[in-house]
Structure 1
Amino acid sequence: MADTSRDTTIEEMAARSLAETDGELIVLAHSMGGRVAMEMGRQAPDRIRAMVLANANAEGLGEHELAHREARIAEANKDMIAYARGWVPKVISAASKQKPDLVAAILKMVEDCPPEVQERQNRALITRPDPTMYLREMCFPVLLLSGSEDHLSTRASNEEIARHLKDAEFWVIEDAAHLLPFEQPQELIATILRWFGRKEIKLI
């Protein structure tokens, strides 16, 4: 499990993840973790056997993104519980919103995140590197996944990542949005395992 809570840049997060592991890796990443994973692929391409990116994107800083992230940082620093209750409904699917236990678990996960970690990660994303500059150099297979209702990691943004890669597949999982690993964990695992089988990727 990579620790992305202590560093201030995507590059540092990737370097820590590589330094705290040995040998070849199959990297599974979600959301911001996808940025870290792609940077790991740049820093140590010979160590990566395969990569799975769920709800990722490679887009640059949007026109209003800086102001949006600063507002998120301020809101979370003021009241993490209120922040969680405002953010979570925006990133899960309509079906997920009808599952009280799931919503409660996601809310608790966000509420338990220290505000200083949330701020560090948002600032790391503000200064994120542009992975499209080096994706073509990655020769390992990559599986891209997103939820059918994800407005942050869209079909278009995933197809743009795939266009830069030598060996990539993109799949959409229904009844999920940006928190795919929480919303549809069994379908996500099954899809990854099927892809491992087609690519003859051995886990041991």
Structure 2
Amino acid sequence: MIIDAHHHLWTADYQWLTEPGLESIRRDYTVADLVPRLDESNVTATVLVEAGRCDAEETAGFLAHATPGTTFVLDHLGKPRIEADDLAGWRAAVRDLAACDNVVAKLSGLLTEAGAGWRVADIRPYVDTALDLFGPQRLMAGSDWPVCELVATYDEAWTALHACLGELSPDERTAVLADTAIRTYALEVGS
């Protein structure tokens, strides 16, 4: 079972889509656009995500420590600067959040952070570090579709993630690909 724990649907009038470089995804994206991609990638269920953009890194850390009964999801692994090869800076930035048991993280949005011409080798150190910091039980996978289409197809996004998870045991892979999302979002899915 695979749960896509991060995808979007939208209309082309979102203000942030007016930014330069986003022309290729500046259109409406509907369920009808997504369904064929789910079948191609063997994705069982999805979580639709939409939220405003925020630069308040301190807020996330404060809230995670101050409200231990609330589960927080670190979206896109905190958007590491993969293209700038800033693994050490990113690791230092998320280490304290990862120490909070009430924080889970999404392996999503990594290919767009790696940029055009990405390779699995570009994202693997970030996935490995996330596995080290959070463990498989606190990581979930998401496509970030259709934003991923700036640099990769839906299937390429999943194929790259599967390549990074190849060393995990079957139970660990299931945790990342389904169980963490099911638990975090209280999803009811068939087996």
TM over 0.5: no
Which structure has more RCO (C-alpha within 8 Å, separation ≥ 6)? 2
- Structure having the higher Rg: 1
- Higher helix proportion (structure 1 or 2): 1
TM-score, with length taken from structure 2 = 0.35
